[in-house]
Structure 1
Amino acid sequence: MNRLSSIRIKAIVIKESRQVLRDPSSILIAFVLPAILLVLFAFGINMDARNVSIGIAMESSAPVAHRLVETFKATPYFRVDVATDRRDLFDKVTSGNLRGMVIIPQDFANLLSRGEQSPILVITDGSETNTANFVRNYAAGVLNVWKSLESLGNSAINKVPVELELRYWYNADLKSSNTLVPGSIAIIMAIVGTLLTSLVVAREWERGTMEALLSTPISPIELLIGKMVPYLILGFFSFVGAVLLAIFLFDVPFRGGTFALFVVGGAFLLSALGQGFLISTVTKNQFMSSMIALITAFLPAFLLSGFIFEIASMPFIIRQITRIIPARYLVTNLKTLFLVGDIWPVIIPNVIFLVVIAAIFFGLTIRKSPAVLELD
């Protein structure tokens, strides 16, 4: 009774595999749900600001002012609404139709012709802080481009002793999808992995088959291994499918290796499946299990994994809480594999944390399993 029996484990694996094939919900969770969520995340969450609506109050009719307006119109980042009076744009900014406005004053050309600085006022909608920062930064960039085109070499405002040259490693185009899509896979797999096993034990209780299992000589560990194997394989297929979608559908570069990908995915799936098993064992109710799994998998993973919000900027206590969130380690590993490559000093510590979390989940599941409780 104390020894693990491969025959009993194999029997449970076959039983559970047949259950998976008969139950379309597992297939939907493993393949359809990740595809839908990945499309929603990839297209719904986008940090790239393009076609931001701004207004330009062109109070100066000089040719140099017209050329400045044309420079704003030429950039793909702005959709420009031109007016001759700033008061015509105030209401549009207040109502949210415009995210900001640029005011070119009447004496703009005269000041430039005398070699003096001519201030240009940029007003942004501070209720959307990220967009306001985009408007400010992009407007400054457009002004620099315009100054270069105008060749104002004799103007004091253009005499800069140092030329700044920027290079962006790992994501040279600064495409937000290159970082958001790998993070989205981590969030999706947290949901999928937990949901896959959150119904397993609860289903046995609701269908009245748990008593039959308890009457057999199978041990809690054998039962857990037998039930886990089919869902681990299913989870791997789901994980690989999400990665392939990211590469071929969303054109996210993948610079890592297959072995590292499977190590990272396997460690995370063990923790996610263990969380689902624990929930299912404790609740013994499929509806309650699914609700708890969805809440405990999605919200912590979305808010505390570094997917959207930078962990380093969080308060100290919250940063410590993130250490017990498995998705945090998968987000870091996937971003590393997609954008950088097989950086094992980054990957290995995260994999170790995931394995430890998985061991804790499975240990609690075995402790709470019906067979152990009956022995107690």
Structure 2
Amino acid sequence: MSLHATGFVRRFTALLRKEVRQMLRDKSNLAVGLLLPVALILLFGYGLTFDVKNAPIAVVLEDSSPTVRDVLAGLQGSPYLSPELTTDMVRAEASLRAGDVDAILRVPTDFSRQFAAGNGRMQLILNGVDSTKAATIEGYVSGALGSWAQLQADRAGNLPATTAGIEIEQRMWFNEAGDSTWYLVPGLTVLVLTLIGAFLTSLLVAREWERGTLESLFVTPVRPLEIVLSKLAPFLAIGAIDLAVCLAAAHFLFHVPMRGSLLVIVVSALLYLTVSLLLGLFISGVTRNQFQASQLALLTSFMPSMMLSGFVFDLRNVPVVIQWISQLLPATHFMSLIKTLFLAGNNWPMIFRDGSILTLYALVLTWAARRQLRKTLE
């Protein structure tokens, strides 16, 4: 081996040894490199699904004859539908507005007579907030009734099978245009506020920790709560501008209806933005390092907001453990709230419930951020 090659190997080995030691000493980077991929694979591998299973639908039986129950037998055996029988259409509509059911299958009073004449009709009312899911449920209902028709045709020896004179009249609520943009744009507002809040704030404040400018405040008479509020104000103003841009784009560019109160939308959005900003301040106080702050903010705010808040898929279709985890995220509560406000209108029980949860998050994070920004230099 030449002298040049020997020197290369020696220098490379020394550098490699140094890098390995440094990596092993930095426990946070080691945890990010080893534990984060495992957590993401397990969390999103089990939790990410676009399948619709056990979708709750209200079956309004205005005609409860044996013929009707025989026709609807296919719904009972479907793993994708969870029918709830009722005779009260008003109650079923209230459940659809509240999001307790995804569709209403209405069997009219004269269905048996029409069915005997070969032209029985049912009405299917779908929650169109998620147009893709609504189309999937429509397919499941048609498929379940078609399976029953196939069974009847097999028994009678008639091929090919049809829906045996059953006609489904579809109605789409909340998203009558069936436009997926109406579903996605309100959710994008959540992601924008999360990015401006937790992610950006954690980076900028962590930079002040690294440069020592934040520590210089500790020799002044200011109090930790005052520091927290002074950090919140500029980013709250920036977030308010971003919110205005999102609302304007939703209305003028994407023509998303705004059926709820604009005041409620703005107040709830600013409340969620405050929660995101406080989370960013808390993360920066814990890490005091830009790289670590970016990783922690990405893991605890932006990625969960995108994947586990209901932005991509319906959370009722994921395992129960993932549902529990999603309920711990502020974005989950704001995501459902803003979509309802945009497309369905003012649902006051949901507004008070999710607003109270976000307020509780704001109070807890204010206390936590205040403790992290106390006047100590550990």
Q: Which of 207, 214, 217 is equivalent to 2:218?
A: 214
Counterpart residue type for residue 199 of structure 1: L
Aligned to 1:35: none
Among residues 337, 341, 355, which one is paired with 1:337 in the alignment?
341
Distance 1:159 1:232 in 2: 57
- What is aligned with 1:182? 186
How far the C-alpha of 1:201 sits from its partner, in A, is 2.9
Q: Percent identity of the aligned residues?
A: 36
Q: Does 1:271 align with 2:275?
A: yes
- Go from structure 1 to structure 2 and tell me whether the alpha carbon gap of 1:174 and 1:212 turns closer, same or farther (over 3 Å shift): same
Report the TM-score when normalising by structure 2.
0.56
Matches within 5 A, 1:53-132: none
Match of 1:164, SS state, is strand
CA displacement at 1:156 relative to structure 2: 8.3
Q: Distance in 1 between matches of 2:199 and 2:163?
A: 61
Q: Which residue of 2 aligns with 1:292?
A: 296
8 Å CA contact 1:199–1:289 kept in 2: the answer is yes
Gaps of 5+ in 2: 1-49, 51-131, 147-158
Could you give the per-residue CA deviations for residues 124-169 of structure 1, whole angstroms, max 9, x where no partner exists? xxxxxx9xx98x959x99xx9xxxxxxxxxx986684443211111
Are the equivalent residues in 1 in contact too, given 2:228–2:373 (CA < 8 A)?
A: no
In 1: Cα distance, 2:244 partner to 2:163 partner: 54
2:171 to 148, 160, 167: 167
Q: Is the 8 A contact 2:194 2:301 kept in 1?
A: yes
Distance 2:139 2:261 in 1: 37
- Contact persistence 2:201–2:281 (CA under 8 A): yes
Provide the C-alpha distance between the structure 2 equivalents of 1:302 and 1:352, rounded to a whole number of angstroms: 22
Instruction: Give the direction of change, closer, same or farther, for the CA distance of 1:279–1:166 in structure 2 (3 Å limit).
Output: same
Paired residues of 1:221 and 1:366 also in contact (CA < 8 A): yes
- The DSSP-based 3-state class of the residue aligned with 2:349 is helix
Asked if 1:310 is matched to 2:314, the reply is yes
Match of 1:90 in 2: none
- On the 8 A contact 2:187/2:311 being kept in 1, the answer is yes
Question: Equivalent residue of 1:230, what SS?
Answer: helix
Query: Where in structure 2 are the equivalents of 1:121-270 lying within 5 Å?
Result: 160-270=164-274
**Superposition CA RMSD, Å:** 3.0
Secondary structure at the aligned position of 2:249 is classed as helix
Q: Is the 8 A contact 1:193 1:235 kept in 2?
A: yes
- Point out where structure 1 has 5 or more consecutive residues left out of the alignment: 1-46, 48-129, 145-154
Give the aligned residue type for 1:193.
Answer: G
CA–CA distance in structure 2, aligned partners of residues 306 and 173 of structure 1: 21
* Distance in 1 (alpha carbons) for counterparts of 2:163 and 2:204: 70
Q: Helix, strand or coil: the match of 1:332?
A: helix
Structure with greater contact order relative to length (CA < 8 Å, sep ≥ 6) = 1
Tell me how far apart the structure 2 counterparts of residues 355 and 245 of structure 1 sit (CA, whole Å).
27
Query: What's the counterpart of residue 20 of structure 2?
Result: none
In 1, the alpha carbon distance for the partners of 2:304 and 2:163 equals 50
Query: What is the one-letter code of the residue matched to 1:163?
Result: E
Cα 1:156–1:286, aligned 2, differ >3 Å: closer, same or farther? closer
Confirm or deny: 8 A CA contact 1:276 1:293 kept in the other structure: yes
Q: Which residue matches 2:5?
A: none
Asked if the contact 1:324–1:357 (Cα under 8 Å) also holds between the matched residues in 2, the reply is no
CA–CA distance in 2 between the matches of 1:195 and 1:202?
A: 11
Deviation at 1:268, TM superposition (A): 0.5
Confirm or deny: 8 A CA contact 2:227 2:373 kept in the other structure: no
2:314 alignment partner AA: E
The structure-2 alpha-carbon separation of the partners of 1:166 and 1:228, relative to structure 1 and needing over 3 Å to count, comes to same
User: Which residue matches 1:320?
Assistant: 324
User: How far apart in 1 are the matches of 2:263 and 2:247?
Assistant: 14
1:264 counterpart letter in structure 2: S
Maintained 8 Å contact 1:235/1:269 = yes
8 Å CA contact 1:171, 1:339 repeated in 2: yes
* TM-superposed deviation, 1:228: 0.8
Distance 2:215 2:277 in 1: 23
1:218–1:250 Cα change, 3 Å: same
TM-score (norm 1): 0.56
Mapped partners of 1:184, 1:209: distance in 2: 34
Cα distance, 1:368–1:158 mapped onto 2, change above 3 Å: closer
Give deviations 1:189-232, integer Å, cap 9, x for gaps. 21221123213432322222223200001010011111111111
Question: Following superposition of structure 1 onto structure 2, how do residues 6-21 of structure 1 map, counting pairs within 5 Å?
Answer: none
Specify whether residues 173 and 277 from structure 1 end up closer, same or farther in structure 2 by C-alpha distance, changes over 3 A only: same
* 1:270–1:355 Cα contact (<8 Å) kept: no
Deviations 1:222-244 (A, max 9, x none): 11111111111211111121121
